[in-house]
Amino acid sequence: MTVRKFIVSVWLDVTALIIIGTIFVVPFMFIFLTAAKTGPEAALFQFTWPSQFQFFENLREVLEFGDRRMLLALWNSTILTVGSVTLIVLLSALVAFVMQRRRDRMASVVNSIMLAGLIIPPAVVPTIFVLQQVGLYKTLIGLILVEVAFTMPFATLIFRTFMASIPGEIDEAAIIDGASPLQVFFSVILPLLRPAIVTVIVVSSVAIYNDFTGPLYFLPGGQNVTAQLTLYSFISQFSSRWHLLFADVVIITIPPLIMFMFFQRQIVSGMTAGAIKG
């Protein structure tokens, strides 16, 4: 019976690895191999080794295309992601703190508005009109504010759910010791929100960095290009440079991969701390 259970467990592990490899590894290998081929060979869309390996040549051509437009796009995406995530974490945590500690009707109204933000789709045309009126249309600052507004309801819900497990007696003890409300939040509550902060940072960073429609609608212009919009550079109606398009995809994938490699331990520890929070 023990041997049978061992065989079953081994087969389950092998099956899981095959499924994971098929879903994640195989598509990435196809992208990498296509990015290493010549233009005519890449247009065949065959899962084969390139007859002429020119992966680094394609990467160099993508980086130098359009007066190094790709480097500008990566810089804009970095500013957009870092600025948006910073405001999302700070503002969402503050809103969640007030909503969780207050029990009046105003808190219920704000909570309903936040939940509506998760359900109601964003209105593109009115948002563009508002940005034009305040002079922030076609600017990174305007798109950062849009990303913050779109992501705050989800982040606030995460923070409020986690903050419900923090006893209110901690706030009262800090206030008795002479702390102001802001001091209570930044010195007492915010350090306890580390698992939720890690979760919000990871989810928001991936969503904002990979956002395609936001920059397309609210950040038009050659100098405002982001990493995702560079895919347009190698696609046209009559001919597509597929080898450069897939090389562009590889370059776009590098920043999130580097972030995960450097912050993997913090992400895992944050998820574990949130799971065992009592």
DSSP 3-state percent helix, strand, coil across the chain (nearest 5): 80, 0, 20
Spelled out in words, what is the top-level CATH class assigned to the domain 69-275? mainly alpha
Q: pLDDT digit string (tens) for 52-78?
A: 889 999 999 998 887 888 999 999 999
Task: Give yes or no for a contact between 175 and 184, defined as CB atoms under 8 angstroms apart.
Answer: yes
Alpha carbon distance 3, 17 (integer Å) = 21
- Which among 30-44, 100-114, 159-173 has the top mean pLDDT? 30-44
- pLDDT computed for residue 142 by the predictor: 92
Percentage of residues in the chain having pLDDT higher than 90: 20
Task: Give yes or no for a contact between 36 and 58, defined as CB atoms under 8 angstroms apart.
Answer: yes
- pLDDT computed for residue 88 by the predictor: 95
Does the pLDDT value for residue 86 go beyond 90? Answer: yes
Does the pLDDT value for residue 179 go beyond 50? Answer: yes
Distance from the Cα of residue 168 to its chain's centroid: 32
Strands (E), the chain: none
Question: How confident is the prediction for the chain on average, in pLDDT?
Answer: 83
Task: List the chain domain ranges.
Answer: 69-275
Q: What is the pTM of this model?
A: 0.82
Question: What number is the average pLDDT over the span 85-102?
Answer: 89
